[in-house]
Copies of this chain bind each other. A is one copy, B any other.
Amino acid sequence: PFRWQAEPDLPEPKVHEWIRTLEPSAAHDTDWSRIDAAILGVPLSRSSISASAASETPEEFRRAWRSFTPYNLEEDIDLTPLSVVDLGDVRQHVTDISRCHQSIREAAATMQRHHPSTLPILIGGDHSITAMSIMGIKDTRPEKSIGLLQLDTHFDLRSLEEFGPANGTPVRNLIESGSLRGSDVWNIGLHGFFNARSLRDYADRAGVNWITMKEARRIGLETAVHSALTQLEKKVDTIYLTVDMDVLDLACAPGTPAGAPGGMRTEELFEAVRIAGTHPRVRGMDIVCLDPRRDINQITIKTGVHVLLSFLTGFMQRDKA
């Protein structure tokens, strides 16, 4: 009889075979201590200032990573020894944004409380989720300090009063809620005419550390990242990495709501993220503000998946002694 479609026998899994889907029903029977990282989709973008379909990114990631292999040829790193699970999406509400945010915060808190050895990776969604993710971690361990390494074109320090917990305000939200100190934030990649002067003034008053693209290129982007990590490790217990895809040059990442010319190059971002992945104190990360509807030929979504895998490459290279 005829054969239905079957995957050919391969000596190794592809990315979608290597990352296991963990159903909620199986969560309790799982030995979480052996899970290195867990991916949580956060399909929320109604909190975005401008219209965004970033809510579709988690599903697009799952489709796009089928065309990647879990082997980084340039670094000669095989990711398959890592145990990575996909937890699916955090449930979101259609019209109650605060309920959405609460769910994200609880998800992060739950992960931190019950599965502290598993590194959470959130796939946004818009940048508002970062505030919720870090607050959730903080809720669980309020005595521990958290630092933020942010790769972004923007400060994300706009007025909470005016916008609420939107994608333009997460860092301000974190500072003003006491979840972290301004001086424990490092933002790399800011550039151009996309941050009002008053926001820069706020950043300086709050002690936020920042390195523009121009400066980062002058000293070397790798140096900039290493420097930020070195500073942070002296001051905080946990470092959280947040990658706003609009840090990339608009021509390299057409699929973001606020993309701008003059940004980071793709290979620069991959290397920055890989380096962050190698640092043992980086214990959470997210990728946000990728709008698949604006994307062209999947340039941005493939780049987003590559960011994820670059981070995991660094994680594999991490000295776990």
Q: Could you list which residues of chain A lie within 8 angstroms of chain B, going by C-beta atoms?
A: 1-6, 8, 10-12, 14-15, 24, 41, 43, 45-49, 51-56, 67-75, 78, 87-98, 103-104, 106-107, 109-110, 114, 128, 159, 162-166, 168, 190-198, 200, 212-215, 249-252, 254-255, 258-262, 266-267, 270, 293-294, 296-299, 302-303, 306, 309
Contact = CB atoms under 8 A, between A and B. Distances in A.
27 contacts: A2-B90, A3-B103, A4-B89, A4-B90, A5-B92, A8-B159, A15-B193, A51-B51, A51-B52, A68-B194, A69-B196, A74-B192, A74-B213, A74-B214, A74-B215, A94-B164, A94-B166, A96-B97, A97-B97, A213-B267, A250-B303, A251-B252, A251-B266, A260-B306, A262-B266, A293-B293, A294-B297
A56 B50 CA distance: 9
B47 A51 contact: no
Contacts of A165: 95
B299 A193 contact: no
A260 B301 CA distance: 10
A197 B2 CA distance: 32
Nearest to A253: B251
Q: Which of A52, A93, A95, A163 is the most central at the interface, judged by chain B CB atoms within 10 Å of its CB?
A: A95
Contacts of A270: 261-262
A36 to B, nearest CB: 17
A298 B88 CA distance: 26
Chain multiplicity (copies): 6
A56 B66 CA distance: 15
Q: Which of A4, A67, A106 is the most central at the interface, judged by chain B CB atoms within 10 Å of its CB?
A: A4
Nearest to A191: B74
Given A69-B194, A74-B191, A90-B5, A296 B297 contact: yes
A8 B94 CA distance: 12
Contacts of A255: 297
Q: Which of A12, A75, A92 is the most central at the interface, judged by chain B CB atoms within 10 Å of its CB?
A: A12
Contacts of A298: 250
A286 to B, nearest CB: 16
Nearest to A109: B2
Q: Which 6 pairs between the two chains have the least Cβ-Cβ distance?
A: A95-B164, A51-B53, A5-B89, A2-B106, A46-B46, A2-B107
Given A261-B299, A297-B250, A73 B195 contact: yes
Nearest to A303: B261
A47 B95 contact: yes
Nearest to A9: B162
